A = this chain, B = another copy of it.
Amino acid sequence: MPRTVFYVSDSTGITARTLGQSLLAQFEGLDLEHVTVPFVADAAAVRELVARIDHTGRQQGVQPLVFSTLVDSELRRLLATSSGCLLDILGVFRASLEQVLGVAATDQVGGARPRASDASYQQRIDAVHFALDNDDGARLSQYGMADVILVGVSRCGKTPTCLYLALQFGLFAANYPLTEEDLGSLKLPRALEPFHAKLFGLTIEPERLTAIRQARRPGSKYASARQCSLEVTEAEALFRQQRLPSVDTTELSIEEISVRIIERLGDRRGGAGLSHGR
């Protein structure tokens, strides 16, 4: 019988779940079932949840875990009446923060929630549309508006990374696919020449690229080990020759690739790093 883990939030529950799973990853051999309970907004919803937690615990014969990012004190107090093991993520740091900051915490829900009407939120949406419009070198004329232009061979991770940079950080990210015509000369494609400072190379191990391309176009020249190896070798030579910063995406998630790009952008812009988002 698994043990149930509840992730409880007055918003989406994504933070509660991410954090809870990071914590639980430190314990081996657990049999867990994960349940996210988002948008818990009032006492009635918490009471219903408490009944559900208690029922689950009785059925399973083990104490459920309850990760919560509820903000409201009254709702947190109510949730604490369940028989689950409550890990009150916001509550636990409130007292220390109140002491250091010398200010009392409010119960304002959703203060850090992205608001559809915020400028920074609108920028993320605009950035998504920019990434789509500028995917695969579609509109070279808009490169001037880009914060960063990712350069690499087909299927090395450019598109998902551009979209993540847009959705998470509101960065205007374009990408340029290196094709056979661009490779071999060690020169930048002409469309990229004016934008050297915005270029960022993505590379990947040829074996991994072959596997990805085979899944897409099995048996094609495009997906052959020889072609993949050739393209990667020449792309990497181009990055070295042109002194482009680059990152190997083989073992990295898009989150990690994105944060490494932002770090390097920060270096080139004078060390701002992730300080300002954009």
Binding site for B on A (CB under 8 A): 11-15, 17-19, 21-30, 33-39, 63, 65, 69, 71, 85, 87, 89-90, 92-94, 96-98, 100-101, 103, 105-108, 110-117, 121, 124-125, 128-129, 132, 135, 157, 159-160, 163-164, 167-168, 249-256, 258-260, 263, 273-276
B21 & A121 in contact (Cβ 8 Å cutoff): no
From B65, B97, B113, B250, A253 is in contact (CB under 8 Å) with: B113
A275 & B35 in contact (Cβ 8 Å cutoff): yes
B103 & A36 in contact (Cβ 8 Å cutoff): no
8 smallest CB-CB distances across A and B, nearest first, come from A25-B111, A36-B274, A114-B253, A25-B112, A26-B105, A21-B112, A12-B259, A22-B112
Instruction: Provide the bound-state CA to CA distance between A237 and B58, in Å.
Output: 46
A259 & B38 in contact (Cβ 8 Å cutoff): yes
A160 & B167 in contact (Cβ 8 Å cutoff): yes
A253 & B33 in contact (Cβ 8 Å cutoff): no
A26 & B85 in contact (Cβ 8 Å cutoff): no
From B110, B129, B255, B275, A34 is in contact (CB under 8 Å) with: B275
B13 & A15 in contact (Cβ 8 Å cutoff): no
B159 & A132 in contact (Cβ 8 Å cutoff): yes
A14 & B168 in contact (Cβ 8 Å cutoff): yes
When distances are taken between beta carbons in the complex, the residues of chain B under 8 Å from A19 are: 15, 19, 69, 89
Of the A-B pairs whose beta carbons lie under 8 Å apart in the complex, a sample of 11, sorted by A's number, is: A12-B256, A12-B259, A19-B19, A21-B112, A26-B71, A27-B105, A35-B274, A38-B259, A113-B253, A113-B256, A163-B163
A160 & B128 in contact (Cβ 8 Å cutoff): yes
When distances are taken between beta carbons in the complex, the residues of chain B under 8 Å from A92 are: 92-93
